[in-house]
Structure 1
Amino acid sequence: MRASRPLRALRVLRRVPFTLTFVGAMLAVGVATGTLWRPASEQSWYPQVATGIPSLAEGRWWTVLTSPFFVDHPAVLITLLPLVIGGLGWAEWRFGSLRTLALALGGHIVGVLGAAGILLLVSQTGWHWAVRLAGTLDVGPSCAAFTALVFAIAALPAPWRLRARIAIGLWVGISVLYLGELYDLEHAVAMTAALIASGWLPAFRHPAGRPTQREWRLIALAGLIAVGVIQLLDLVVPFDGPLGQNHPTASLVDVAVDVVVIALIANGIRSGYRVAWIAALGVGAFNLATAALGFALLPALVDAGAVASPRQVFALLLPPAVLWAALIAFLVVGRGAFRVRLRRSRRALAAEPVTRDELVQRLERSGGGTLSWMATWEPNQRIASGSGAVAYQAHAGVAVMLSDPIVPEGEQGAALDRFADAAQQAGLIPCVFSASEASAAARPDGWRSVIVAEDTIVDLPGLAFTGKAWGPVRTAINRAGREGISFRMVRLAEEPWNVLAQVRAISEQWAGDKGLPEMRFTLGTVEEALDPEVYVGLAVDGGGNLHGVTSWLPVYGPAAPAGDGDRAEPRIVGWTLDLMRRRDGGFGPVMEFLIASSALHFSQAGYAFVSLSGAPLVRPDGADAGPVDQVLARLGALLEPLYGFSSLHRFKQKFNPRSASLYLLYRDEGDLPRIGIALTRAYLPDASMRDLVTSAAGTAKRSGH
């Protein structure tokens, strides 16, 4: 591992030779000219390398090519280098050195010459700001870096592409309107050209449609943040930009009230709360009324000598008023995205609720996956989806669908789309946990998937425990015969009270050793094993003592065709292992014996397979591990001493199963922290924060971290 890190770093450096060369050239120029420790703008030769209208007017055309290698002040280099390395390096990593060179050079030339052209035209009007900038010089590679960054952002998947464009657009827009220096104007020209070009070129073009609810909320949030930032600038930053000169004269109370209100409602706008939408409209209307009153009183204030310069009041009132007006218009047009009720009890998904019995009927008709029977468990909420249904739990602002939607084959995509829309309308983050390969392939556009479990399936036709691979299983069966351990397949609800008492005692002893309550969600308890539709395998000795318990959930296939007028017959095609409990000090290989005996029982009954169920947070060894996978692997390692997911998965390999990956489906990586909290609450609904912290500390101590 130690040797691989330098090699990985070397491979990264080899992919960005242009970025390294350019940064090296900048630093070399800085050392040679001494501008690494003293301002270049104070040197006599500065006009010979800096670009701007004066240089171009005097024929120094070469300054367009020399200016990127200088910075006007050493302090600027500290903030500029991350932009250069990040923008150029990212673009070079994605597009290669020659394309990045073309993007950087083109962006720099367009930014410099475009800004010069704008100033030549506008300065003829006598506009103070344009006249001032027309006599200004500038150096630096920021236009090149911004252009490369915009093109790299265009290659991002949704919604990160929109988020990044909003962030960079707000930054550049606020800087050019408020600070208004020559380089701010150049940045704005270069970035606008890059955004247009990246949206026009086929390699970067993305199909445009109606904004989603999430996009409406995201843009509204960005607008609120922009208003807050601008009002803070009015309060603390003097500027001389296109909007006029400003010396901080804004009322501290007014700005503080607006900023506090924005901070309070920002998360509500992001989540689509109706009350936050109303509050934003109210604050915006108040600010527009204040601006209108200020403009109406401006002549009287000037006559009375209360205001020295009308332009100062103009610069103070107009930009926030324009932004608030635009934001109000946007909120009104997108009002459909802000209908979420504030009270959690009213944030139910807008879909027809389905009872447990109705869900079972739809499962019998449409069939389902190996985990679909878990949708019948409490506290799952069940809603209709076309002719089928889905089950989900809501925790921490997340709606977690359990396994695949219970719908006819081929309708998974439509069901997932309906679930996602309903969850977002309710202000919840949608995701699907333990989805099959078919559902992962049908996930909504733009969604991601990551493997979170590995299902293990044993095919039953022709099952025989012969050959070397089945040696441990045969040993367990033979030993059980010698020690008088017998197997029974029963419905636990029909067993006498003494058997049920032993089952509960074994389960309570097992759970008590964990230090945490029993896990739920995709892991059942004795209560779920009492379902009359569930089979339970028991290992019993000659004295009636129970040594181990397994429970098996039915797996339905699509209902068998029937004759005219006849109801299609439900069809169970397999069984899924759920509960696994063994008595302390009892028969050693009791789980091998129980699972093997159950598989033989189901094989003789004519079923197609048994699923040994998926071990959470276990991935196939050969699967590529991205950043999300690595985080899940660390979480699995943390929980391993408590629940033994990996060791359980290894145990199941004794039965020579085939594997089927189970997936987490989610919108994007920004949702993962909330999804992680929601899954923790779904699996451990009865665990307190103290339980989690204590167990995590004990696990870390045992693992040596």
Structure 2
Amino acid sequence: MVPQESRRRRFLRGPRPESVPLLVGGACAAVGLIDVAAGVFPGFRHSRMHTLAEVLPGALGPFAAALSLSSGVLLLLLAHGIKRRKRRAWRSAVILLPAGAVAQFSYRHSVLGVVLSLALCFLLVRHRAEFAALPDPRSRWRALANFFLLGAGSLALGLVIVSVHPGRVVGDPSIADRLQHVLYGLLGLEGPVDYTGATSWTVAYSLGSLGLLTAVTTIYFAFRPEHPAARLGEEDEARLRALLERHGGRDSLGYFALRRDKSVVFSPSGKAAVCYRVVSGVMLAGGDPVGDVEAWPGAIERFMDEARAHSWTPAVMGCSETGGEVWTRETGLTALEIGDEAVVDVADFSLAGRAMRNVRQMVKRIERNGYETRVRRVRDIGATELERIRRATADWRGTDTERGFSMALGRLGDEADGDCVIATAHLAGTGGDDPSPYGDLKAVLHFVPWGEDGLSLELMRRDRSADPGMNELLIVAALQASPRLSVTRVSLNFAMFRSALARGERLGAGPVLRWWRGLLIFLSRWFQIESLYKFNAKFRPRWEPRFVVFRKSGELPRIGLAALQAEGFVNLVPPRPFRPRAPRPCDHRGDRPSDRSVRAA
């Protein structure tokens, strides 16, 4: 008896407040589909409402159809924002749900849709405190995307509207006539297709509402206040540099916090910071927090508060084992190993021995072909040569967009980065006979500081006409020049799933591990997984594990897609119009990792 009363009490009390956004968001999508179907298909009605509909004013039926259609489309667009607790989505849904209920009641349809719409509106109003998330960063591209996507959807939906009245069409219009009628109708004009009775008004109102909806939403996105992608301000950059001077030696990825397309939150004491970028609703942090480890919890708490305020999905890419322990302890998030970073201790590096024979032979062969190397700090390179190096790295890039986020700086030769190191390869004896616009310059490596005694590889680029092996030559040159630069350790590329590749090829590896290794090798056709692991292993490094930190496993696909977008492997942003595409040169298969900044691969 008591359990029955408890269940009855829970039913009357309704769903838990924290589950309302997800529940109402999914239900709003269902109501949106019902509203769209109600506005499009004339037979989508309940017979009990037919008598009431007959006594309504003649213009109310077509108007209700258009209102039902518009409300349904908007509810479908708002459903995701409601699930993410967005305040603006809540405001719009509170207006649209009653409007859709009125439209369904007026246009000969089932009472079920009316009751469901009003019940959802009641839940939204009752639990309005759950919908407090602030807007996402945005740009004017949203208006262009809305125009094309919603316009294409309106065109397809309009073609359905024009074609679902076969018994009331005058004549036999062709597909071209129907398409022309849809285009005219979206603009509020009369088309070539005619109907008997009030159907022509219903079709006209529905098409006009779709056209008006496309125009109004596009204008709204175009003229609303712009919140562009994150930019690191000068004051924040100065504070981060001060933290790196004191604590930069802790993490090889610390200097990448100075990437200027990131935002930053500081701990209350100002002794630690977390840098991040928001991509598709995912709040991505890269590497460990910057600053004093004791102040990390304060910065992490600020990061999580910001994620909750905007209803963003928090995630950390490429943090160290220490960073992963702090993140999971302070937030309750989960850590998963995603790969290893190759770190070479300069004191232990040598080209002697059987293990280094392949690298040694390749370097000697390239040197015999007339190549020489130079390893210098950025501040020691002249402005003219620095500009030539900068233009060469841009032209040698194998993709149209710069790749990298968590392990890339995104710039080269900036005045503020004087401690960075550039290693260049030159073909001696070419003089003015070299047809290249960059003269004897054939390859470039760029390293960022890792504390006072370390370097972290950021960029690898080369001329495709140069001999294979340029990367090996320049890495060896950088390691050999490290004592002169007071460098004791050098971080090379990041190898994703390195441990799985290494263990999967060992004797006695199980079937699951071998299957996983086979899948990684298959994916290496598109992503540099196996090639980077083998390239790094040539230099006999020690491997430092790196982790991804996330809230729940169901969010991993979304986080993975956001990471691929941030790293530049997936581009869901429209390209800039009228920008010439850079030519894509041929690739030398023997020196594959040099076609882009492979730290981000």
Into which bin does the TM-score normalised by the smaller protein fall?
A: 0.5 to 0.7
Paired residue secondary structure (1:345): coil
Deviation readout 1:558-599 (Å, 9 max, x if unpaired): xxxxxxxxxxxxxx2411112223344545544323212322
Amino acid at match of 1:552: F
Is the 8 Å Cα contact of residues 262 and 276 (structure 2) preserved in structure 1? yes
2:226 aligns with 345
Deviation readout 1:37-86 (Å, 9 max, x if unpaired): xxxxxxxxxxxxxxxxxxxxxxxxxxxxxxxxxxxxxxxxxxxxxxxxxx
Percent identity, aligned pairs only, is 22
2:21 aligns with 217
> Offset of 1:460 from its aligned partner?
2.6
Deviation readout 1:343-378 (Å, 9 max, x if unpaired): 6734889x9995222211122223342122122123
1:336 aligns with 132
* Structure-2 separation of matches of 1:532 and 1:586: 28
* Aligned with 2:481 (options 587, 593, 601): 601
1:325 aligns with 122
1:359 aligns with 240
* Structure-1 separation of matches of 2:80 and 2:347: 55
Is the 8 Å Cα contact of residues 277 and 338 (structure 1) preserved in structure 2? no
Paired residue secondary structure (1:539): strand
> Offset of 1:612 from its aligned partner?
0.6
Distance 1:546 1:274, change over 3 A: same
> Offset of 1:409 from its aligned partner?
1.9
- Stretch deviating more after TM superposition (273-282 or 502-511): 502-511
Deviation readout 1:402-422 (Å, 9 max, x if unpaired): 222213225545534432331
Distance 1:216 1:494, change over 3 A: farther
Is the 8 Å Cα contact of residues 423 and 444 (structure 2) preserved in structure 1? yes
Matches within 5 A, 1:300-449: 321=118, 324-331=121-128, 333-337=129-133, 345-346=226-227, 355-367=236-248, 368-386=250-268, 387-412=271-296, 414-444=298-328, 445=331, 447-449=333-335
Amino acid at match of 1:527: L
Distance 1:645 1:528, change over 3 A: farther
1:84 aligns with none
* Structure-2 separation of matches of 1:229 and 1:497: 61
Matches within 5 A, 1:200-239: 215=19, 217-222=21-26, 224=28
Deviation readout 1:644-687 (Å, 9 max, x if unpaired): 45323312211101212323333335444544443344333996
1:648 aligns with 532
Is the 8 Å Cα contact of residues 341 and 347 (structure 1) preserved in structure 2? yes
> Offset of 1:455 from its aligned partner?
1.1
1:663 aligns with 547
2:446 aligns with 551
**Does 2:412 match 1:527?**
yes
Is the 8 Å Cα contact of residues 424 and 444 (structure 2) preserved in structure 1? yes
Structure 2 unaligned segments of length 5 or more: list them. 54-60, 139-223, 432-439, 505-509, 577-581, 588-601
2:381 aligns with 495
Is the 8 Å Cα contact of residues 85 and 133 (structure 2) preserved in structure 1? yes
> Offset of 1:477 from its aligned partner?
5.0
Matches within 5 A, 1:631-642: 633=520, 636-640=523-527
Distance 1:373 1:549, change over 3 A: same
* Structure-2 separation of matches of 1:630 and 1:323: 48
Amino acid at match of 1:383: V
* Aligned with 2:347 (options 445, 461, 464): 461
Amino acid at match of 1:360: R
Distance 1:354 1:671, change over 3 A: farther
* Structure-2 separation of matches of 1:382 and 1:348: 13
> Offset of 1:461 from its aligned partner?
3.2
> Offset of 1:456 from its aligned partner?
0.6
Distance 1:686 1:503, change over 3 A: farther
> Offset of 1:528 from its aligned partner?
5.2
Distance 1:324 1:360, change over 3 A: same
* Structure-2 separation of matches of 1:673 and 1:617: 17
Amino acid at match of 2:443: G
* Structure-2 separation of matches of 1:631 and 1:450: 20
Matches within 5 A, 1:476-491: 476=362, 478-479=364-365, 485-491=371-377
Is the 8 Å Cα contact of residues 32 and 72 (structure 2) preserved in structure 1? yes
Paired residue secondary structure (1:421): helix
* Aligned with 2:493 (options 613, 625, 633): 613
What TM-score do you get using the length of structure 2 for normalisation? 0.59
Amino acid at match of 2:238: D
Deviation readout 1:595-638 (Å, 9 max, x if unpaired): 12322332465544211131467664238989xx8999489434
What TM-score do you get using the length of structure 1 for normalisation? 0.51
Matches within 5 A, 1:504-523: 504=390, 506-508=392-394, 510-511=396-397, 514=398, 516-521=400-405, 522-523=407-408
Distance 1:323 1:497, change over 3 A: closer
* Structure-1 separation of matches of 2:75 and 2:428: 72
Is the 8 Å Cα contact of residues 460 and 602 (structure 1) preserved in structure 2? yes
Distance 1:546 1:225, change over 3 A: closer
Deviation readout 1:386-410 (Å, 9 max, x if unpaired): 4222222233333322222213225
Aligned alpha-carbon RMSD (Å): 5.2
Distance 1:353 1:267, change over 3 A: farther
1:268 aligns with 81
> Offset of 1:330 from its aligned partner?
1.4
* Structure-2 separation of matches of 1:340 and 1:264: 15
Paired residue secondary structure (2:256): helix
Amino acid at match of 1:553: V
Distance 1:632 1:258, change over 3 A: farther
> Offset of 1:426 from its aligned partner?
2.6
Is the 8 Å Cα contact of residues 416 and 443 (structure 1) preserved in structure 2? yes
* Structure-1 separation of matches of 2:570 and 2:383: 27
Amino acid at match of 1:329: R
- Stretch deviating more after TM superposition (371-380 or 500-509): 500-509
2:192 aligns with none
Is the 8 Å Cα contact of residues 455 and 614 (structure 1) preserved in structure 2? yes
Paired residue secondary structure (1:268): helix
* Structure-2 separation of matches of 1:435 and 1:220: 36
Is the 8 Å Cα contact of residues 244 and 290 (structure 2) preserved in structure 1? yes
Is the 8 Å Cα contact of residues 86 and 134 (structure 2) preserved in structure 1? yes
* Structure-2 separation of matches of 1:354 and 1:620: 42
* Structure-2 separation of matches of 1:498 and 1:230: 65
Is the 8 Å Cα contact of residues 267 and 296 (structure 2) preserved in structure 1? no
Amino acid at match of 1:359: L
Matched residues, number: 447
> Offset of 1:341 from its aligned partner?
8.6
Amino acid at match of 1:422: E
Is the 8 Å Cα contact of residues 228 and 262 (structure 1) preserved in structure 2? yes
**Could you say which structure has the larger radius of gyration?**
1
* Structure-2 separation of matches of 1:681 and 1:233: 35
Distance 1:636 1:287, change over 3 A: closer
